């Protein structure tokens, strides 16, 4: 962490004590289900796309703050494989928003040494949206700072099915080459997931008060700590992230053992 806590959180609201934050116990990987854009917009008499647009600033804030704190991986759930069921104009607007946002933000992320990657079925995305995500990866793939993982057209069950298919193909190739396949382990299977070489999330944050994981990182969340907040995503700022991290630091992670 290059900046001081006071620099990162210059105006902590009442009830937050920066002295309680332990910079040495920052989670390596934080995942976020960004929920509540539509309800935020409805409360203000706006359409759902206006809520998604408002949520972009919360994304910027979270990326900036997570990077400043030394979080190594930040995964954001931006569009699930089930979200295609939403109204056509909302989906089209979201895809355009993804493309415009990535185009506008990638140079700044690159300057901050952030690596940008996507997980999910990019082939199902509109050409322009897919191109901006691909270009972001090409520009930033050698960066060594925080990795921003954007889950887009992503489904946890589909990821597991894809991993099984990839494993079966690898075993088929091994048998054709006369090799004896090694027994499958959890560690070996994880290398066939979209998140191969990325550690499992330490902390999952979900906004808007919902208490479900919505087909997100089903394999990877086995021992992740969950934090749910009533705050809608457009109102989620660095201080809300700090609250989540303080809550996380107050827990004892036992991974099935005894404390």
Backbone angles phi, psi at 173, to 5 degrees: -65, -40
**Residue 223: count of CB within 10 angstroms of its CB:** 12
Dist. CA 26–CA 171, nearest whole Å: 39
Q: Can you tell me the distance from the alpha carbon of 64 to that of 218, in angstroms, rounded to the nearest whole number? A: 27
Give residues with Cβ within 8 angstroms of 240, minimum separation 6. 229, 231
Contact 71, 30 (CB under 8 A): yes
Q: Could you report how far apart the first and last alpha carbons of the chain are, in Å?
A: 30
**Three-state SS for 80?**
strand
Helices (H), 4-155: 5-8, 37-43, 48-69, 88-111, 127-140
**Mind telling me the catalytic residues?**
35, 83
């Amino acid at each position: 962490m290059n900046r001081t806590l006071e620099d990162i959180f210059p105006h902590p609201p009442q009830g937050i004590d920066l002295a309680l934050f332990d910079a040495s116990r920052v989670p390596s990987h934080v995942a976020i289900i960004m929920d509540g854009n539509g309800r935020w917009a409805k409360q203000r008499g706006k359409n759902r796309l206006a809520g998604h647009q408002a949520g972009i600033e919360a994304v910027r804030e979270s990326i900036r703050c997570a990077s400043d704190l030394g979080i190594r991986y930040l995964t954001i759930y931006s569009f699930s494989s089930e979200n295609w069921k939403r109204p056509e104009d909302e989906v089209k607007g979201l895809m355009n928003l993804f493309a415009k946002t990535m185009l506008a933000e990638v140079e700044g992320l690159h300057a901050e040494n952030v690596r940008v990657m996507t997980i999910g079925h990019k082939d199902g995305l509109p050409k322009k949206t897919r191109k901006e995500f691909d270009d972001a990866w090409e520009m930033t793939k050698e960066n060594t700072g925080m990795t921003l993982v954007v889950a887009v057209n992503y489904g946890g069950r589909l990821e597991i099915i894809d991993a099984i298919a990839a494993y079966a193909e690898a075993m088929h190739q091994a048998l054709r080459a006369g090799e004896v396949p090694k027994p499958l382990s959890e560690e070996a299977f994880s290398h066939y997931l979209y998140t191969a070489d990325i550690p499992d999330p330490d902390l999952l944050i979900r906004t808007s008060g919902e208490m479900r994981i919505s087909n997100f990182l089903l394999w990877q969340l086995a021992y992740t700590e969950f934090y749910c907040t009533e705050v809608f995503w457009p109102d989620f700022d660095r201080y809300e992230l700090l609250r989540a991290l303080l809550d996380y630091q107050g827990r004892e992670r036992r991974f099935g053992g005894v404390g």
